[in-house]
Amino acid sequence: MSFQKRGTSPGLGDTRSSHRSTKNDTLQLWKVNDTRAMKAGRRSTVHHPGGSTYTGEWNRNLPEGTGVLVKPDGTKYEGEWQEGKQHGHGTLWVTGTDGKQEKVYTGAWRDGKKAGYGTYFYPDGARYEGEWADNMRSGWGTMFYSNGDRYEGEW
């Protein structure tokens, strides 16, 4: 009488994998399958492995057109996308200390950065309305301070 080791088949050797699946393996498999899916057009919500969700339009597997991205920390961007980056007009919210969504910026975006005309809202109630370049206040704008002071000019 011969005994076989559990997990083996006659003539096939050990059928158990010597490789344990890791989070990285799962992520790599997800990327392969996601690429094969080649998302294009309007979609329902897509859940990413890191916990982010995106609802909106796609082109060549990237957000393109209008859509909403919500990250696990509650940060939310709603607006226009181009080649997977914020591009066009959009609004950014963050989760405040009270757990509620607070608008941080609304305005123009280019290649994932604030660029063009937009309004930034500060936690203390101040706000800046004006030109942006590369995520920085740049050009003509007005800063409205929470104490009522105001500065209008070049940045």
pLDDT by residue, tens only, the chain of 155 residues: 333 334 444 444 444 445 566 767 776 775 666 665 666 667 768 888 889 999 999 888 889 999 999 999 999 999 999 999 999 999 999 998 888 999 999 999 999 999 999 999 999 999 999 999 999 999 999 999 999 999 999 99
Predicted local confidence at residue 1, as pLDDT: 38
Please report the pLDDT score of residue 37 as a whole number: 60
Query: Phi-psi region for residue 20, left (φ > 0), alpha (ψ -120 to 50) or beta?
Result: beta
Closest to 147 (Cα-Cα) out of 125, 131, 130: 125
According to the model, what pLDDT value does residue 8 have?
Answer: 41
d(CA 105, CA 52): 20
The answer to whether 48 touches 72, Cβ cutoff 8 Å, is no
Nearest to 39 by CA among 20, 14, 17, 56: 56
What SS3 state is found at 35?
helix
Give me the pLDDT at residue 97, please: 86
H or E element: which one contains 26?
helix 23-37
- What pLDDT, on the 0 to 100 scale, is given for residue 119? 98
Q: What is the pLDDT of residue 148?
A: 97
